Amino acid sequence: MKDTILVTGGAGFIGSAVVRHILNNTAHRVVNVDKLTYAGNLDSLRSIESSENYFFEQVDICDFSNLERIFLKYAPTKVMHLAAESHVDRSITGPADFINTNIVGTFNLLEISRKHFLNKEGFRFHHISTDEVYGDLPHPDEQDGELPLFTETTHYKPSSPYSASKASSDHLVRAWARTYSLPVVITNCSNNYGPFHYPEKLIPLMILNALHGKPLPVYGDGSQIRDWLYVEDHARALYKVLMEGKVGETYNIGGFNEKRNVEVVKTICQILDEVHPAKESYSKLITSVSDRPGHDRRYAIDSRKIKNELGWEPQETFESGIRKTVMWYLDNKDWWAKLYKVNS
């Protein structure tokens, strides 16, 4: 069956990977709805923009009437909701945009879906969320023995305005499923990395700062732990959940790659020392900066459910994925140059 899949935030980092994956590997139509904020970039979709199955609408998901127009025009059979404000630092200095986009925008999508598509055969609403809604986990520096992982039943304990807004949107989706029987699936993912990543995020910022001989700022002692997931592995997982996941279920998606932040930065420096050497090791640029307020110490996802029930697991290790990522940035200056200037 050929679906029409409406993807919100399809010009963003993860969203563009999803759009490319669907159009390159299936016969489905994709309608990309994106406001094109600073983090939305149509250059990330050049490889598929001429596809006869691709349609783009520059619309804010907070604009209810325009969003409803798009739903009625394209009559999607499935929705993948990725549009979100997602940078924690920005949420601390300006939380209003996060409340509007992540909560009000999600409400709009749910209401339009309920109003027009609730009983449409095959309709499904896939809400893409984050592991940050769970708060943080015990850290190996603070606790001995086996450490817990986030599961699909972990209680929510968000720490930042960003994670609180995403937790709110998760709750809305579950409420619309329970009250209105809207067919939903939810995924919560770990930290993504890979090609086409906006330069404010840790990995691309470290790569580009290093290439420009600028300091590599690491919060505090850099001991914060994240589970790293290659973005193209995530795109495959999201599509599999959309098509094969059980309605009403939540699936956690992780990379099985727990790394301290400072370890990630040092790995980037080691790869650059090998493939793009400078006069001194890039590790000399690592600089400690004041820690982020309310900074979570550790995230780690238990992905056994999606592996056991849907047969998904990541194809990339952190070592293979981070090398691919570094090489991509070395080979694609035309994509990041203007973004990095803005961000510098």
Q: Please indicate whether residue 49 is annotated as part of the active site.
A: no
The tokens 């879906």 sit on which residue?
A: 113
- Determine the Cα–Cα distance for residues 220 and 199; give it in Å rounded to an integer: 20
Q: Please indicate whether residue 132 is annotated as part of the active site.
A: yes
What domains can be seen in the chain, in order of their start residue?
4-194+229-256+298-316 (3.40.50.720)
DSSP-derived secondary structure for 73-131 = HH--SEEEE------HHHHHH-THHHIIIIIIHHHHHHHHHHHHHTTSTT-EEEEEEEG
Q: Which of 257, 129, 261 is nearest to 186 (CA)?
A: 129
Q: What is the dihedral of CA 90, 92, 97, 101, to 10 degrees?
A: 90
Q: Could you say which of 3, 34, 132, 296 is catalytic?
A: 132
Q: Please indicate whether residue 162 is annotated as part of the active site.
A: yes
What does the pLDDT read at residue 293? 86
What does the pLDDT read at residue 264? 98
Count Cβ atoms below 10 Å from residue 27 Cβ, excluding itself. Answer: 10
DSSP-derived secondary structure for 268-320 = HHHHHHHHS--SS-GGGGEEEEPPPTT---B--B--HHHHHHH----S--HHH
What does the pLDDT read at residue 266? 98
Q: What angle do CA 112, 158, 100 make, to 5 degrees?
A: 35
Tokens encoding 268: 């980037």
Q: For residues 99 and 165, is the Cβ–Cβ distance under 8 A?
A: yes
Largest CA distance in the chain: 64
- Determine the Cα–Cα distance for residues 215 and 209; give it in Å rounded to an integer: 7
What does the pLDDT read at residue 88? 87
CA neighbours closer than 13 Å in the CB half-sphere of residue 73: 12
Q: Could you say which of 131, 232, 296, 316 is catalytic?
A: 131
Under DSSP, the state recorded for 62 is: T
- Determine the Cα–Cα distance for residues 20 and 18; give it in Å rounded to an integer: 5
- Determine the Cα–Cα distance for residues 275 and 150; give it in Å rounded to an integer: 36
Q: Which of 207, 244, 220, 173 is nearest to 8 (CA)?
A: 173
Q: Could you say which of 162, 193, 198, 251 is catalytic?
A: 162
Tokens encoding 304: 């056994």
What is the chain's pLDDT, residue by residue, as a tens digit (344 residues)?
799 999 999 999 999 999 999 999 999 999 999 999 999 999 999 999 999 999 999 999 999 999 999 999 999 999 999 999 988 889 999 999 999 999 999 999 999 999 999 989 999 999 999 999 999 999 999 888 889 999 999 999 999 999 999 999 999 999 999 999 999 999 999 999 999 999 999 999 999 999 999 999 999 999 999 999 999 999 999 999 999 999 999 999 999 999 999 999 999 999 999 999 999 999 999 999 998 888 889 999 999 999 999 999 999 999 999 999 999 999 999 999 999 975 55
What does the pLDDT read at residue 86? 84
Tokens encoding 223: 């001991």
Indicate the residue type of 196.
Answer: F
Tell me the chain's radius of gyration from C-alpha atoms.
Answer: 20
- Determine the Cα–Cα distance for residues 36 and 197; give it in Å rounded to an integer: 15
Tokens encoding 69: 């127009």
What does the pLDDT read at residue 125? 98
Strands 258-260 and 225-230: antiparallel
